[in-house]
Chains A and B, each alone.
Chain A
Amino acid sequence: MMATRFDRWLNTLGAWTLALIWFLPLIYAVWTAIHPGAYATRFELFAPLTLENFSNAWNAAPFARYFLNSFLLVTFILIGQFVLCTLAAYAFVRFTFPGRGILFALVLLQLLVMPDILIVENYATMRKLGLVDTIAAIGLPYIASGFGIFLLRQTFKTVPKELEEAARIEGAGPLTVLWRVYVPLAKPTYLAYGLVSVSHHWNNFLWPLIVTNSVETRPVTVGLSIFSSVDQGVDWSIINAATLMTSGPLLIAFLLFQRQFVQSFMRAGIR
């Protein structure tokens, strides 16, 4: 009995130590962001609080525009992914046609060879299409998502045949069946995939950095990197305020929907 109690105590200690280490960077960022620069490394309990760092950061770069761009970007990608992946997944589940196996294998290949890696060729394509420095160019390579098609196909496969047949007896065509039967039953998957997709594309950096070059198109991640790399003696408190600001929407959403977030990532990962 002694041994198990000691064991449990040790595990709790370990779990908490690791949790504190994991949380430390975030706590530290919050500390520097809400205190004047002088307290960046002086930890006094009653240090004066301030929101000045946030307003300074907000005014130092066109963050309002960056936020709008990021918002437009993730919305565009999400809607595009939902529509295209739904149609494709439905075709794979509901129809038999020559080439189905090969095409599905090609879709799965995208899980390994992601557009993130093919930056050189995709940039050349965007130049040919005249799309460089547009929000569409940031989103287009990700819209036909192999992951999304796979996830929705798995979900659609679990839809009972009887439901579909009942709908068809009532004279519903394939698209009506999709809209009335399949999509409503896949709601949890859409939520899961939506959360994963939004957080992924809000956070994406390399491709937007390459394909944008003006304030009108840059998402927050690229905006933040430009802001914090300017060596004009910008002080850390302001950079950390900007850092928290850009992660803010996701962080707040995460705190509010913690359970859904975790479950979504879980659902998205179970294959």
Chain B
Amino acid sequence: MASWSLGKALKSMFAEARDVVDTDWDDLEDSLLTADFGPAVTDSVISSVRAVADRSARIDTDDLRRILGEVLEERLATFDSTLHLSSQPGVPAVVLVVGVNGVGKTTTIGKFAKFITTRGKSVVVGAADTFRAAAVDQLATWAQRGGATIVRPQHDGQDPASVAFQTVESAIASGTDIAIIDTAGRLHTKSGLMDELTKIRRVVEKQAPISEVLLVLDATTGQNGLMQAAAFVESAGVTGLVVTKLDGSARAGFIFAVQEQTGLPIKLVGQGEGIDDLTGFTPHVFVQQLLA
């Protein structure tokens, strides 16, 4: 199956420029819904596009496509996607990575470590996912690929907060610039596990301020992404989003709703299983891919 994309879905509309007819609006709505924008955001995007379109006496499908791109870009551009990773001498910048199960946290950390080391900073990763079988080994492999050192739990089932503490401790002792802490995947509905994140935060902040808390969201997720984001924002104080698995057929339209509801910027984008498949987020590029 060839990759589905919003662009392809729109192709019949946009194949060659012609005047916009009523059914084009229905098609546009369907395309947005199919890209996981969700009914509410779809409605609001369409009314924005309509508002712009109504200013011209006559628009063709090329105009419509351009307006759609601009509307989407504008929505994304209202958020600042800069990563804050500046460390003080002797105090590392701490990054906490959180998310539900199977979204790609560990993989993201491996890629993120590489992302940072290629920019000349040193990285230590903390394997605070002490729950899932072999998660520590998985992280170790990624850390090695990314050129980072790893702090492992001293025994099975060790309290994740204590692993996090030791990671920051080790970063301070070795003068490492950035400490990235991997956490176990947890469904946002499990309040006990969510409280654990609050604890990890608290423990880490005793030694160093937390620079970023990155929430990893799977592009294939649907409207549940909103619920995830809301819960993690509350328990973990998320500062930015990472969208993974964008190399698949999913378009992650739900992130528009997530951004607007939480006010959080997307900071990184993951597009594959290779070590270099992680990039910073640029609204223009993202929208181009969405409409490609």
Partners in one complex: no
Interface residues of B, Cβ cutoff 8 Å to A: none
Interface residues of A, Cβ cutoff 8 Å to B: none
